[in-house]
Amino acid sequence: MTSPVPPPEEVKQKIVQQLQRVKQAANRDIAKATRIDKHTVDKAITELINDGTLIYVNYGGVTYVALASKAGEEATPPSG
- What's the confidence (pLDDT) of residue 1? 42
Number of helices (H), then strands (E), in the chain? 3, 3
Residue 71 pLDDT greater than 80, yes or no: no
Give the residue among 30, 38, 41, 25 at the shortest CA–CA distance from 78: 25
Q: Give dist(CA 67, CA 70) in Å, integer.
A: 5
**Bridge partners (DSSP) listed for residue 34:** none
Contact present, 48 and 12 (Cβ < 8 Å): yes
Residue 22 pLDDT greater than 60, yes or no: yes
The domain defined by 8-69 folds into Arc Repressor Mutant, subunit A (1.10.10)
| Confidence band of 74 (pLDDT split at 50, 70, 90) | very low
- What's the confidence (pLDDT) of residue 19? 97
Mean pLDDT within 15-36: 96
Mean pLDDT within 57-79: 76
Could you give phi then psi for residue 22, rounded to 5 degrees?
-105, -5
